[in-house]
Structure 1
Amino acid sequence: MRQKDIRRECEELWAKNKYYVLSKSQKAYLEIREYLKEKELDVLYLNEKIQEARDMKESKKDFRNAILHIWGYFKKKASTIEKQALFNILNEYMEGKNNQDVVIEYINTLLKRYPNEYLEKSILLTGEKYETMA
């Protein structure tokens, strides 16, 4: 396979998984981002790195960070009430009063109202099980 095709495959895989990885570990996210700047890429290596992130324990701080990144896609469109609702749900999550599913469910509500093709493929939001690009 040509390096150009490998790069495209890696970029597609990363696009689906980047917010999921960010929700687990900002450090892992930044490492993968650096790796993707390399001249030669390897899909199996990228898969391995994503899998390592998947196996990490939940990090409230990193999950919150990922949600705030995703919020960036909505902030110009969403109403003040929608923004307040998200931040209330997120704060409740940080305080342990709800879980990630509640936050993701609300983000998906926003996504239905304000479609975004890129976010619609994000496994953090789709809940898709790990998918390798073999």
Structure 2
Amino acid sequence: MAVKIGISACVLGAQVRFDGGHKASTFCTQQLKPLVEYVPVCPEQAIGMSVPRPPIRLQYNAEQQIRLVQTRDNSLDYTEQMLSFTAKLLPQLADLSGYIVCAKSPSCGMERVKLYDAEGNNLGKQAVGLYTRQLMQHYPWLPVEEDGRLLDPALKENFIARVFACYDYQQSMRDGFSIGKLVAFHSRYKFQLLAHSPQAYRQLGRLVAEAKLFQPQELQLRYLTELMQAMRQIASRKQHTNVLQHLQGFFKKVLEPASRAELSELIDRYRRGFVPLLAPVTLLQHHLRRYPNQYLQQQSYFAPYPEQLGLRA
């Protein structure tokens, strides 16, 4: 079963924007595409809006409700049509492991979408696209990112790590949730969690330890939601260094002094920004092949996503 990612159709190159154009993302159409199955959606076209079409925006009405209206004539209101379409579509998206939306769009934007008052005055970039707002409320655990933010290497790596972790969790629970499966999954993600959030690492550890106190369905959803929230935090160089030093500790009794010194030096060079994360991780994997350790071999930290994406280099 492929990793399924929802995506704004224009980000895949479909000419469905209000001006008849697209916002094709090179990363999405070239690097990521061979590794996933996309579910393209253009909510504006889906509710019957033409291509091209007059632009729309988010605007307060007299009752201070945010509405999706035509920019030049706010009496043309598409809010109910969009909400009706979204309500019908959302149940069909439960098997997605991520979603890439079009930035700044009044229907699809994830954040910083322009909002206007009832008189048409620009209140600034403080809204969320109507469609994406409903999506994130319905699936609070779903990794969602904007096309423009994927140009930032750290944000891109973070999003992809969340997508593949989400997919891994979904696959782990595909045939039914159990505490045993949860314990096994959490064990594999301990170091990855530690890199993203030491606090969440401890909190999720307590949640798993107290698993019998919760109803299975509640626990399954709560763990996934808290896991995805934790992984939204960018793993810093300092936190990665902490994880690398933890992993190094597993080899201190088996490595000869020269190899220990080499590994310590490489980790420190990563800490100081002289080499990419891939360098110490590769050396640790080399030692792991020489001195197998079942607990370490199962850690997702070593391969959080397909290496051909090159995100750690």
**TM-score, normalising length: structure 2:** 0.38
Among 81, 87, 92, the residue aligned to 2:258: 81
Asked if residue 105 in structure 1 is aligned to residue 277 in structure 2, the reply is no
Kept in 2, the 8 Å contact 1:90–1:103? The answer is: yes
The separation in 1 between residues aligned to 2:276 and 2:251, in whole angstroms, is 21
Counterpart of 2:304 in structure 1 is 127
Higher relative contact order (CA 8 A, sep 6+): 1
Asked if residue 40 in structure 1 is aligned to residue 213 in structure 2, the reply is yes
Extract structure 1 runs of 4+ deviating beyond 6 A: none
Equivalent positions of 1:1-134 (< 5 A) are 6-38=178-210, 39-41=212-214, 42-128=219-305
**Equivalent pairs, count:** 125
The separation in 2 between residues aligned to 1:52 and 1:103, in whole angstroms, is 27
The separation in 1 between residues aligned to 2:266 and 2:304, in whole angstroms, is 19
Displacement of 1:89 after TM fit? 0.9
The alignment partner of 1:36 has SS state of helix
For 1:21, the aligned partner's letter is L
The alignment partner of 2:213 has SS state of coil
Displacement of 1:53 after TM fit? 2.8
Larger helix share, 1 or 2: 1
Greater Rg over alpha carbons, structure: 2
Kept in 1, the 8 Å contact 2:196–2:234? The answer is: yes
For 1:17, the aligned partner's letter is Y
Counterpart of 1:132 in structure 2 is none
Among all aligned residue pairs of Structure 1 and Structure 2, give the percentage whose two residues are the same amino acid: 22
Unaligned runs of 5+ in 2: 1-176, 307-313
Superposition CA RMSD, Å: 1.7
